[in-house]
A and B are shown apart, each in its own frame.
Chain A
């Protein structure tokens, strides 16, 4: 019997079940609690999302318990917060307590329960948006008009007691614009907006956030129309500034265009000429003014640059000086360190490249006989003390003996510090020394002259010709005749001797006589000679011009016939044709030309530029 009952019941149940399934009914799906929020940290609400209801009316119940006790309560209010919600009022809300909430979905077929949801009210505060948003345009005196935005905190939030602290944010945009312009307003409930476009319609919104919580939703939009008369003074100022700067730019461009070249020369001065190796600028220190005065310049470098030409001149007594305008650098250095000579001082020097100047100098009365100074030291430039003799001594005397050089500085008032003698350390120095001598000579108002000491004076003038082996390789100026000495200021200045380290054969310039004759002696003969007279061993003089090498180089050889200074004189004094006669070289003529710029040969050969000689003998 029982078996029969059971066997009938089961199919009936299955039948019912199948009927239900055919109808589509099932127990409810699992609901899910979506969020819980508190608007003022005193109450809170929770919302859930129901699962599939299984086709049957489903009942939802929310149950919870707090962390401290295990009593389970049911939701006190399902209505206030809307469908599928539970509202906990003040009585049921505890802050800093975890609520464990579950939702139970029940229908005819069954029920299902959600996962537990843990919530602490302190961390889920999300206020309502601020209220009473008002917009107004204000026109204060002496100020730009602005948009004044004002709002009030959401209701129910207790700010006065400090239970909650709110911060606000506003955003606005012109009606047609795509992007909002957001401003953080802090804890204040008003805001000022400047820089608005006149004639535009602006939309404004505001929202708030508690000190630890979520931002509220944006409040309702409010709009305002900006009247057209709201002037934007910024733009006028900027227009004015722009116009002004354009005008200034135009003026500058015009100025540059007009004066461009002179400005360029001012900013980027022309590069000075090459420096001659061997010039010891130290030795030339202080002599620049004298040199420049000889050139007739008052303002270096502007006036004198043109005059600085590469020329070597030998000038006699007041007018006998060795000049060189080769290195502007040396002059520069010396110029900067020395005072300018008195303009009316007759140095007896001509400019190195100007025959006219030279002749002028020569014609000028020799006001101040040169004073000769004994050497004091190699490198000491002498300041304006005239009385001491200054020795123009080369640095390294290759010959092992110091040959002091002295130059005549002018009378006391006009003395200048002596420029440093050029270094004689290299062979090339010798030639350059002559250039320095030129400079020095030019510098001294009286006359630059080398004076011989009682000690060894050796004027070394390397005259080197690379080609002739038979001749002495270098002319050595042994001693420059000087009638110098402190006691004898009237003697004409003499040629400055040079010394070269190079073991060359030098033609020594024995002396320059009053007439400007240059007498040369072979080197060995002139050691320890302190001759003052022009008497020379006949066979030792280099008075004959052998030939012209290259351009403007005169090679001198020994004149075995008649070592007569006079003959030398003749040789040199004669106008170019005579030289040409002797040499048969047309280049010789070039030597006679004074004004042309003679370059000092730098490339390892020393030459005595006979132009200097020529002038000295005129």
Chain B
């Protein structure tokens, strides 16, 4: 039953993924290893294609979620000023422009990407939980939050695989930023809670954009030899 449920879930998620993609070309030809398959050989090119598709999709969802939340809950409240410098992943030294990104080595960049993804596991889980407790219509935001959480896990899995293929036997330094968590309900009023939420969505939008850009850079660099 588990396998069935998993495969059903996987196929439905895959359908959702395909329907949301902006990059049309790479979607149709993605081979997927059935879950649990042992000797499934997926080429690095396909791994990267899939990872890029996932990262692109996750950022689209994040941007949309932030926009909706901003529209519904944050109008005229000046949350943006408080959101600056509030991301828990700020400690991870990611490149800030193209030159920096191009000068960093593949391996390091891959590790950074993995670190960011790992750091978001816990917050995404809590995000889904918190959204359910919000007042007002939040169905759309909730569904996006759940979707992003799922996709993030898949992307992390894929990236770990890619790292293993590109740099087999690498001793991975565990980059991780711990998320401080939401303000506890007792201490926070509604405004603080909303502000904390706003910060989280703001940071998620940014980090998903970073990851997407880095992966596209890496793909063109590793697979297409800088000739995309």
User: Would A120 and B206 count as touching, CB distance under 8 A?
Assistant: yes
Q: Does B132 contact A (CB under 8 A)?
A: no
Closest A residue to B220 by beta carbon equals A162
B residues 93-126 in Cβ contact with A at 8 Å: 94, 96-99, 101-102
User: Would A96 and B209 count as touching, CB distance under 8 A?
Assistant: yes
User: Would B56 and A160 count as touching, CB distance under 8 A?
Assistant: no
Fill in one digit per residue for A155-191: 1 if any B CB lies within 8 Å of its CB, else 0: 0001111110101000000000000000000110000
User: Would A211 and B98 count as touching, CB distance under 8 A?
Assistant: no
User: Would B94 and A96 count as touching, CB distance under 8 A?
Assistant: yes
| 12 pairs, A vs B, C-beta closer than 8 Å | A90-B97, A90-B99, A96-B206, A98-B84, A120-B206, A159-B228, A161-B98, A161-B228, A162-B226, A163-B98, A165-B216, A211-B22
Give the chain A neighbours of B209 by CB distance below 8 A: 96, 122-123, 212
Q: Does A93 contact B (CB under 8 A)?
A: yes
Given contact pairs A94-B97, A96-B209, A118 touches B221 in the complex (Cβ within 8 A): no
Chain B interface size range: 20 to 34
**A605–B99 Cα gap in the complex (Å)?**
112
B residues 174-224 in Cβ contact with A at 8 Å: 206, 209-210, 212-213, 216-221, 224
User: Would B220 and A160 count as touching, CB distance under 8 A?
Assistant: yes
Give the chain A neighbours of B80 by CB distance below 8 A: 118
Q: Does A585 contact B (CB under 8 A)?
A: no
User: Would B25 and A186 count as touching, CB distance under 8 A?
Assistant: yes
B residues neighboring A (CB under 8 Å): 22-25, 56, 59-60, 63, 80-81, 84-85, 94, 96-99, 101-102, 206, 209-210, 212-213, 216-221, 224, 226-228
User: Would A187 and B25 count as touching, CB distance under 8 A?
Assistant: yes
Give the chain A neighbours of B217 by CB distance below 8 A: 161-163
Give the chain B neighbours of A100 by CB distance below 8 A: 84
User: Would B219 and A211 count as touching, CB distance under 8 A?
Assistant: no
Fill in one digit per residue for A508-524: 1 if any B CB lies within 8 Å of its CB, else 0: 00000000000000000
**A235–B63 Cα gap in the complex (Å)?**
48
Closest B residue to A66 by beta carbon equals B84
Extra pairs beyond A160-B226, A163-B98, A163-B101 (20, CB < 8 Å): A42-B97, A90-B97, A95-B97, A96-B96, A96-B206, A96-B209, A97-B96, A160-B228, A161-B98, A161-B220, A161-B226, A163-B217, A165-B23, A165-B228, A167-B22, A186-B25, A211-B23, A211-B212, A212-B60, A212-B63
Give the chain A neighbours of B25 by CB distance below 8 A: 186-187
**A41–B59 Cα gap in the complex (Å)?**
17
User: Would B23 and A67 count as touching, CB distance under 8 A?
Assistant: no
Give the chain B neighbours of A116 by CB distance below 8 A: 81
Q: Does A68 contact B (CB under 8 A)?
A: yes
**A118–B79 Cα gap in the complex (Å)?**
12
